[in-house]
């Protein structure tokens, strides 16, 4: 092996080891900082819905509501974003002429450059009043279904998971669309041309060739988007209304807090190590959850490449 290749190999290996070590050190730091607060906790950390951390001598905190709101909001956003992203990616790669596809793709990608606080302000000041009548109609018409039931912030239909999920879906669009578009563009030209030569319509080409080839990549992109949604902070902190003493009840019209928004909204308590440790403990759970989702996404994409 030539010296240049050896140096490059060592640098690449070192960079990979450094990243893995950094992730491990972050996890260890969170765990060490959380242990004192967990030891002083007077409630069950995993099953309690209580969150009282103002008095370091009487800590009571549990992550059940935070976990449920975080996952519920993220999954709702993903359900909205996935079909729209799929449609945009297919339009840009299969239907749109190149002179239109490229600038349109740039516009979609630019959504990723918009700061979270802008999305949050737009969501609560502009979008929420427009969505409130729709949310109210869904509640009145389909309220017998639990997900459309009366929320814990009724009659407020603006600072809810419904509004937050729609805004979060818009934030996920550039991630899922961009990665899906790249996968669909790599569909073997011979397969596409062969299907067209046999008389297949454009939709039949997509259904029989493009989608089967890019399915794993699309799922992986969606999983990466889910990981992004789980960690969103400022936009959800601005939008979600936190009800006093009312637990999450599986309605899209509930308020609440996610792991990240709860930490951001209560940073003033960090001047006490034990109170701060409660938030660090919840951050550790979010760290593990996000890591697991991203690991699953990378595994799916890696499996597709191996095939």
Rounded to whole angstroms, how far apart are CA atoms 208 and 242?
Answer: 47
156 half-sphere exposure, CB direction, 13 A CA radius: 16
What is the set of domains in the chain, with CATH numbers?
Answer: 64-306 (1.10.3720.10)
- State mean pLDDT over 265-292: 85
The alpha-helical segments, DSSP class H, found in 42-127 are: 64-90, 98-110, 116-122
Cβ atoms of 75 and 164 closer than 8 Å: no
Q: Is the pLDDT of residue 69 over 90?
A: yes
pLDDT digits (tens, 9 = 90+) for 150-185: 888 888 888 999 999 999 999 999 999 998 998 898
Rounded to whole angstroms, how far apart are CA atoms 300 and 209?
Answer: 19
Rounded to whole angstroms, how far apart are CA atoms 217 and 297?
Answer: 9
pLDDT digits (tens, 9 = 90+) for 100-145: 888 888 888 888 888 999 999 999 999 999 999 999 999 999 989 9
Of residues 103, 227, 238, 122, the one with CA closest to residue 170 = 122
Rounded to whole angstroms, how far apart are CA atoms 38 and 92?
Answer: 50
> Could you count the other beta carbons within 10 Å of the beta carbon of residue 130?
11
């Amino acid at each position: 092996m030539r010296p240049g290749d050896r140096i490059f190999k060592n640098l690449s290996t070192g960079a990979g080891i450094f990243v893995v070590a950094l992730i491990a050190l972050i996890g260890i730091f969170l765990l060490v900082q959380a242990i004192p607060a967990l030891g002083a906790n007077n409630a069950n950390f995993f099953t309690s819905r209580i969150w009282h951390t103002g008095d370091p001598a009487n800590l009571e905190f549990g992550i059940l509501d935070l976990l449920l709101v975080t996952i519920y909001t993220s999954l709702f956003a993903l359900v909205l974003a996935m079909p729209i992203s799929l449609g945009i990616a297919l339009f840009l790669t299969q239907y749109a002429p190149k002179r239109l596809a490229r600038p349109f793709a740039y516009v979609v990608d630019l959504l990723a450059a918009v700061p979270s606080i802008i999305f949050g302000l737009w969501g609560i000041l502009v979008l929420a009043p427009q969505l409130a009548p729709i949310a109210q109609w869904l509640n009145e018409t389909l309220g017998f279904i639990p997900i459309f039931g009366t929320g814990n912030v009724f009659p407020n239909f603006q600072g809810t998971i419904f509004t937050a999920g729609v805004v979060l879906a818009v934030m996920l669009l550039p991630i899922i669309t961009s990665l899906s578009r790249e996968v669909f563009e790599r569909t073997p030209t011979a397969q596409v041309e062969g299907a067209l030569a046999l008389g297949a319509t454009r939709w039949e080409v997509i259904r029989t060739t493009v989608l089967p080839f890019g399915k794993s990549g699309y799922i992986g992109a969606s999983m990466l988007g889910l990981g992004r949604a789980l960690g969103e902070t400022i936009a959800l902190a601005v939008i979600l209304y936190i009800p006093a003493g009312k637990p999450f009840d599986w309605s899209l019209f509930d308020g609440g807090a996610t792991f990240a928004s709860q930490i951001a909204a209560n940073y003033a308590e960090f001047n006490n190590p034990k109170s701060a440790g409660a938030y660090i403990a919840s951050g550790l759970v979010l760290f593990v959850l996000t890591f697991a989702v991203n690991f699953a996404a990378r595994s799916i994409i890696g499996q597709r490449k191996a095939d």
